[in-house]
Chains A and B, each alone.
Chain A
Amino acid sequence: MSVKKIEPFSHFRLTETDKKRNKPFLTKAAQLSAQTTTHRAQERLHFSKPCAEETKVWHVTSELHVGGVIVKLVEKTQIKRDWSDHAVWWEQKQQWLLRTSWTLEKYGIHADARLVFMPQHKPLKLGLPNGITLRLHACFSGPVFRTVMGICRMLNIRHPEELSLLRPLEEKKKKKKDSAEEIYDLTEVPLSSVSRPCLYNGMPAHFADSPQMEAIYKMLSVTQPPPAPEVIAKQYRPASVVDKAHINGRWLDSSRSLMQQGVQQNDRLWLRFKYYAFYDIEPKYDAVRLTQLYEQARWAILLEDIDCTEEEMMLFGALQYHISKVSQSEPQLMSSSTAMDDLDSALQSLEVKMEGEGSSASELLENMTAPELNDYLKIFRPKRLTLKGYKQYWCKFQDTSIAYFKSKEESIGEPIQQIHLKGCEVAPDVNMAAHRFLIRLLIPAPEGMNEVYLRCENEQQYAQWMAACRLASKGKSLADSSFQSEIQSIHTFLAMQKTNTGSHGNVPASDESINTHSLVSPRYHKKYKAKQLTPRILDAYQNVAQLSLTDAVTRFLQIWQALPDFGLSYVVVRFKGSRKDEVLGIAPNRLIRIDLGVGDVVKTWRYNNMKQWNVNWDIRQMAIEFEGNVNIAFSCVTADCKIVHEFIGGYIFMSTRSRQKSDTLNEELFHKLTGGHEAL
């Protein structure tokens, strides 16, 4: 009925309120015999009765309202149970009869109608951004927008309007694997419990019911360890913009129910962030949201769903490494640790010490003297045009500079030279197999950069001096609290290099040594061996090693969001008057037109210049008018124009969310902006 009806051309204006709903009304008032089928899916599921489907036919009048039909039905079945979630589904018309006060006549039901009485919530396999599958009860009767709200409430994800459901890619011949796949089951969660308040740590109460439930919550709120490189390689990767565009044809329609879109119970759907306008992220409340967002971003990068440069990839890799390391060590606490290198706090602690021990001032001052490193190192300065090569000196690392002497005995006197490391560039040159531990320094000077190589004898020495150089280059001294952890991380990466060069991947993967191929996209698996990759990731790791878990996740998301292609959802379209397919990129603030041949952005239109947009549902064409008499029109090739329409309306809706922290979502406005004629 209304569902299938196609209106010639419906107009939407952003500011206007829509027209009154146009209800179909049939005046025929004959006595009807309705054939009613009771589909007891629930029972089949839970009680596993062999065949619980009975079809009953009985006569009702067309004046009887839907509620009356249900009451009759329940009476006749004589089964005592909670029927509250059940509703009537009109199969031929693919429509729910949810208005119980409407008469059958008003719904236009005739004698040949086949009605199904069944639960509105059915189990669904839900693929999360982190790659894990959940089984839970989702609403099959409400619009998908509300279904997603329900799912997000259960999973404790705020701002459900940013997410939606996506039909997964067809899986080819993966049946075997599927059976082995671990599925987290949330179907036991009573629907009513979702409204229970959250616990003190932000965990919804229903996750506290059992250890299994807590495990599920942990899965949701803690990042997954880096996937094995083979897993990444096996995943589908879009190879072109057109491939990416095809994925966007899979979004479900937010204004219709799952049932109406042909989704059956136990089907698999993906839950994904659809609108790249993330509003009001608050790590305190958003543990699950932030984690899943990070996972989605991580996979987008690993699968090259969004392009980045090699340098950016290394930084993403370093952040992934850091995040997985930190989340393993401090799984729950998303707190930021502040380094105590501030002199004020140091003073305070001194004071405390003083009061406690009553030690003398000189002792205090001794405590304050900075630690140093002293050792024999080999130094080489290539710029000096001497062919001498490495020469051994007694080196003293103090504060942020290295002073070197001919020998230890002469270290009391004036050094041969002092190298100030602040602002210098530090690069490693390490080959475990060849036992080479080089530190390459580029020291800035008024005349340019001076190159200095420090050669260490062994791993231990290298780790210490390298850590010291790295800190000094940032202006931090050895006394900095991060010195020890810096040494530790250098050791870790050295260990990774060792295992990578040694046996081929058969080493038991302790959490200390990850295959760095797990952190980058398959392109780099081919380009670099793991041992080549490791130092590069370590290099990038430098700058992020001190971040707390939350900060690291946030940084990852920031860098992701700063990528030029971030937030673009592609659709292949045919512009009016054009003879070739082009790509429309839909971003949070603009539309872009991309020439498929060259890959260049041809044109950009911003939403805030948009006056109105219309959908011609007959010819499936979108027409958009911008300020300054700019009109564009296109038909959609790889996605239904409803999807494109919903994207644009959705982003406009996202931009209406104001700073006021009202938790209520303006569902009506969303549908108004995205719904199309069916919602009106």
Chain B
Amino acid sequence: MDDIDAMFSDLLGEMDLLTQSLEQDTAPPVSLPPPTNTEANFSFGFTDLNESLHELEDNDLDALMADLVADLDATEKKLAADIEGLKVPSPPPPPKGESLLPSSPLDYSASPASSTSSSVCTPSSSAASPLPPPPPQSTKPTKEEIEAQMKADKIKLALEKLKEAKVKKLVVKVLMNDGSSKTLMVDERQNVREVLDNLFEKTHCDCNVDWSLCETNPELQLERTFEDHENLVEPLLAWTRDTENKILFKECGQKYAVFKNPQNFYLWKKDKKTLKDMKDKDKEILIEENFCGTSIIVPDLEAVLHLKEDGKKSWKQRLFQLRASGIYYVPKGKTKSSRDLVCFLQFDNVNVYYAKDFRSKHKAPTDFCFVLKHPQIQKDSQYIKYLCCDDAWTMNLWVTGIRIAKYGASLYKNFKTAEKKAVVNSAWTNRSVTSSSSESTPSPTIKAKANGHAPKPQPEPVFKDVGTCPPPPPPPPSPPLTGILPPPPSDPAFPPPPPPLAAKSSSKAAARQQHLSTNFPPPPPAMDLPPPPPPPPMDESSDTPPDFLPPPPPAMGSLPPPPPSLLSANSLPPPPPPCFKGVGQSLPPPPPDPGFLPPLPPPESVFVATGAPPPPPPPPPPPAAAARAPAPRAPVRASGSVKKMPPMPPKRTTPSLRGGGGGGGGDGDLMSELMVAMMKKRSNP
């Protein structure tokens, strides 16, 4: 246990975020290590931790994500354990058990989300792809097919789990341009495009192509827009542990400016009026010429720029040229002929950043500076190249030109994708607006998207586990809760209930679930929805974490009528469909969400009141998940009927809550408050 504590303490930051989102559920297991400092801007890079910790973290996260193990039956578990033992040099046995337990509860909450996400939103589903295999497995064993085949399948499954387990996931806080923030879980397979899609779902922005994720480095005063095809996790891992770097979600007009006005970059020598009056047809031709041929053509840039390099303090002028192969300069006294050019730098290992306010920081001749550096360099260093342009126009030319040289065709592909997304979205929003008026469900969909990262399509595996594994027991109690409240919604969550019925029932349930999920993508969203309510109490900013963590654990303890819930759940499916349908329609329309949210908060507050029970949470966690699912649904339903006009309150409340909870103890407070809120909710319905 000490080991665990140590490890956990290392992971504090992450745990904090997770716990916040998870609330009581996770809290119990996590509580062992007193988690503390919750920094708003904190992001977690695991790079500095040693290998074993690394693995553990992953496991923990996985557990949280409910990806791993949950769906494996006993043998599978063994296998997995073996594998892990082999793979992971130093995985202390105790932690494992721990991680497993928490993971299963989490699974419940997460799995529904994932299933929904896969059905609802395409981007997230792609990530989920690896998981598909599990479902067939679950059914197979029950059918008792050839043993060898089964074994093979299991091994394959185990390997996939393993693969999954090794996937790095980060909890990322993204600052919105209105000053608020959202917290997302991002796994290393996700690219920026997918993350943006998640954020679109969460924010109801207009989804135009300018929306970008930017990374800022306050220490170096740099800012860079992530390219849509980049993986988000990798650059974040380069951040130092004490970094003040932030991720912003904002509109950057320069991101795709070259595709909107290619003449500004490719014909930059022409006079401004010609550029301004450029016909659309000519723009298209320019794009075609430079981006659609066999080779990507880099704008022909040449300018005298000021350079500060090698750690020197002075700026010197040089005549630079941009070529596809790198940046060159003309040595003094030489001609501009290609053969005389000296290579200043090539783009393989560097990224280009906009610099801010370098006139005061580095005594630059102007404030229009950009920087080239290896992404891992986070502090001032002689290896950073500082360049200064005479005006903003030149700076944008160069930064964009460098991006074209570095990323080539990907840039154009990204733009096309973003464009498509924007078009679809505007269509959706229009629709949604109409639908939203009638249906409040949209918010669920958003959640689903948020989960998108959690491609873990393992709902089925979860079921299995439930049948065989101890953790499941707790869930059953929760189901009753759900049953009592809005049983229908929690189809995904329900899996836990099956346990009583035994494997058979579980398999059936799984099948049903599948159907449900496919038919009623909305239901999962419903599941997701719950999170929205919780966030208010916990964090205004952290929407995503809620997805993973079902706060309701307390409910579990109090409500042991799982079987009924199960039954109801099974039978209930029909009722949910209508809701789901509504949801599905509403899903697309982000705008409605805000509307919905309001309604949710009230219920939450209620829950908080009941929160008292939380103390028991540790055992209940699993049930909590289930319970949680119901809780959210309840709000959803309410919202559906009410139309949820009384939105925002939750957010405001959260901050106060936060203040209350600090460190481990604080967390506990938060948890309890959440519990209370949950209770209240329950009581309200």
Contacts and interface: CB of A to CB of B under 8 A. Distances in A.
B158 A608 contact: no
A312 interface: yes
B295 A562 contact: yes
A562 B86 contact: no
Contacts of A628: 274
Interface in A444-462: 444-449
Interface string B344-382: 001011000000000000000000000000111111011
Interface string A283-322: 0000000000000000000001001111110010000000
A448 B293 CA distance: 38
B325 A315 contact: yes
Interface string A550-568: 0000100111111111000
A350 B159 CA distance: 10
Contacts of A554: 294
A58 B345 CA distance: 79
B374 A354 contact: no
A61 interface: no
B324 interface: yes
B374 A347 contact: no
A354 B282 CA distance: 59
A599 interface: yes
A309 B343 contact: yes
B460 to A, nearest CB: 20
A508 interface: no
Interface in A204-253: none
A210 to B, nearest CB: 36
A589 interface: yes
Contact of A446 (B274, B298, B326, B376): B376
B377 A447 contact: yes
Contact of A562 (B298, B338, B349): B298
A604 interface: yes
Interface string A530-574: 000000000000010000000000100111111111000000000
Contact of A311 (B155, B343, B349): B343
A interface bracket (residues with beta carbon within 8 Å of B): 35 or more
B335 A351 contact: no
Contacts of A304: 339
A365 B295 contact: no
Nearest to B48: A446
Contact of B324 (A355, A423, A559): A559
A523 B337 CA distance: 14
B87 interface: yes
Given A561-B294, A589-B289, A449 B374 contact: yes
B252 interface: no
Interface in B370-412: 374-379, 381-384
A238 to B, nearest CB: 13
Nearest to A543: B348
A309 B295 contact: no
B163 A308 contact: no
A589 to B, nearest CB: 6
Contacts of B328: 309
Interface stretch (A356-364, A490-498, A633-641): A356-364
Contacts of A581: none
Contacts of A557: 294-295
A444 B86 contact: no
Nearest to B87: A365
B374 A444 contact: yes
B295 A448 contact: no
B389 to A, nearest CB: 20
Contacts of B285: 608
Given A312-B325, A365-B87, A446 B240 contact: yes
Contact of B155 (A315, A354, A559): A354
A663 interface: no
B341 interface: yes
A565 B381 CA distance: 36
A599 B83 contact: no
Given A361-B82, A589-B289, A446 B152 contact: no
Contacts of A599: 335-337
Contacts of A354: 152, 155
Contacts of A51: none
Contacts of B159: 347, 350, 364
Interface string B306-332: 000000000000000001111010000
A290 to B, nearest CB: 11
A466 B349 CA distance: 18
A307 B207 CA distance: 44
Q: Which of B281, B294, B379 has the most CB of A within 10 A?
A: B294
Given A309-B343, A564-B323, A589-B289, A365 B82 contact: yes
Nearest to A442: B383
A361 B79 contact: yes
Contact of A361 (B158, B238, B341): B158
B300 interface: yes
B275 interface: no
Contacts of B324: 559, 562-563
Contacts of A425: 349
Contact of B379 (A366, A447, A562): A447
B282 A308 contact: no
Given A311-B326, A448-B382, A562 B152 contact: no
B339 A523 contact: yes
A62 B452 CA distance: 88
B332 to A, nearest CB: 17
Interface in A598-612: 599-600, 604, 608-609
Nearest to A588: B289
Contact of B152 (A351, A543, A561): A351
B598 to A, nearest CB: 43
B383 A278 contact: no
A559 B295 CA distance: 7
Contacts of B294: 278, 281, 554, 557-558, 561
Interface in A329-366: 343, 347, 350-351, 354-355, 358, 361-362, 364-366
A369 interface: yes
Contact of B341 (A309, A445, A562, A608): A309
A14 B79 CA distance: 74
A15 B625 CA distance: 72
A613 B341 CA distance: 37
Contacts of B160: 347
Interface in B126-166: 148, 152, 155-156, 158-160, 163
A310 B87 contact: no
Nearest to A354: B152
B325 A309 contact: yes
B303 interface: no
A445 B148 CA distance: 49
B296 interface: yes
Contacts of A558: 294-295
A361 B325 contact: no
Contacts of A559: 295, 324-325
Q: Which of A278, A364, A365, A604 has the most CB of B within 10 A?
A: A365
19 contacts: A278-B294, A310-B343, A312-B323, A347-B156, A350-B159, A355-B152, A364-B155, A365-B82, A423-B375, A444-B349, A444-B374, A446-B378, A448-B383, A449-B381, A557-B294, A559-B325, A560-B295, A562-B295, A562-B325
Interface of B: 47, 79, 82-83, 86-87, 148, 152, 155-156, 158-160, 163, 238, 240, 267, 269, 274, 281-282, 285, 289, 293-298, 300, 323-326, 328, 335-339, 341, 343, 346, 348-349, 374-379, 381-384
Given A448-B384, A562-B325, 16 more contacts: A304-B339, A307-B338, A309-B339, A347-B156, A361-B158, A364-B155, A423-B349, A558-B294, A561-B295, A562-B295, A562-B297, A562-B323, A562-B324, A564-B323, A565-B338, A608-B281
Interface of A: 278, 281, 304, 307-312, 315, 343, 347, 350-351, 354-355, 358, 361-362, 364-366, 369, 420, 423, 425, 444-449, 523, 543, 554, 557-565, 589, 599-600, 604, 608-609, 628
